[in-house]
Amino acid sequence: MTDQTHAAQAAQVAQSPAEEANPKTLTASVLLAAPHWDPAAFAADFEDDWGVKVEGIPSNPGEPLAFRAMGSIIVVGMNPCEIPERMAEAHAKNNPDWEGATEAALAHRAHLVVAAIAETAGILENARNLVRAVASLTLSPGVLAVDAATMLFTPEGYRNGAALLVDPEAVPVMNLVAFGTWRRSEEGATCGYTAGLAAFGLPECEVLECAQGSETVRGFLANVARWQLAHVDAGEVIRGGDELKGGIRAELKPGAAFPEYETLQFTF
């Protein structure tokens, strides 16, 4: 995200961490121009993309589709209404690289809710399965945007991020976590945060008062988030008190962008 002047602004445009996250159940939304979708067409796209046949396609598109895929239960249901509480508009602000994000949020008239529920899949593989399903849904007619990781994606951008999954060991971190930067003052050093790790039962991460620019801070946070997701199933994640290469230390403290929560903070 682009630099903001105050921590309050950073908190406003990022979704606060969930208080009771269930890392084995993940969700995303697909914004539609109209309340129509074709489950059979999605099933064909999903099989073409990932080589998995979708069973149990409902005859009525208004009924939810639920199927098993790679250790997860994937559920797709249509809501013939806008996402409540203007959340899509709030999340549109988290993607300054897409000038049309707010326009897409305002234009949607229905949305698909997508859930991935881990059955035998681990936490990371379940997340991959959510990304796979949403990526295939972006091929559906009338898709305006994807609302995931507290950010609005272009359909093409989300699908491009999911292309990493041709490698079964890849971590599609950009589809799962949002990264923001801000400054305490116009001349202040760079601060940054993640939004999305809480869904995996992990603390969000922050960099505070860094002399480096926004790109460096976002890159660092993306690498940390990628590590956390890659090791979440084994429990070998970075914790408060750990020291990284280069003497960078992680501390668990009350958050700056998220004052009500403890975040894993790094200073370098």
Segment 208-218, tens digit of pLDDT: 999 999 999 99
Same-domain pairing of 158 and 198: no
Q: What was the pLDDT predicted at 21?
A: 78
| Residue 184: C-alpha distances to residues 70, 117, 215, 261 (Å) | 45, 39, 17, 19
Q: What was the pLDDT predicted at 96?
A: 84
Residues of the chain with pLDDT below 70 are 1-20
- Closest C-alpha among 50, 56, 97, 99 to residue 75: 56
Q: In what order do the strands lie in the sheet with 72-79?
A: 65-69, 72-79, 110-118, 25-32, 143-148, 151-153
pLDDT tens sequence across 114-148: 999 999 999 999 999 999 999 999 999 999 999 99
Q: Considering its fold, how many domains does the chain have in total?
A: 2
Q: What was the pLDDT predicted at 268?
A: 85
pTM of the predicted model, to two decimals?
0.91
Same-domain pairing of 220 and 249: yes
Same-domain pairing of 189 and 161: no
Same-domain pairing of 72 and 186: no
Same-domain pairing of 196 and 257: yes
* Structural domain range at position 105: 25-172
Q: What was the pLDDT predicted at 61?
A: 80
Residues 6+ apart with CB under 8 A from 165: 50, 128, 131, 132, 135, 172
- Closest C-alpha among 206, 218, 180, 219 to residue 94: 180
Crossing angle of helices 123-137/155-162, nearest 10°? Answer: 140
Largest separation between any pair of C-alpha atoms in the chain? 59
Instruction: Give domain status of residue 1, yes or no.
Output: no
Same-domain pairing of 41 and 124: yes
Same-domain pairing of 46 and 145: yes
Q: What was the pLDDT predicted at 20?
A: 60
DSSP 7-41: HHHHHHHSPPPPTT--TTEEEEEEEESSS---HHH
Q: Sign of the CA dihedral 12, 190, 254, 127?
A: positive
Last residue of a domain, one of 126, 142, 172: 172
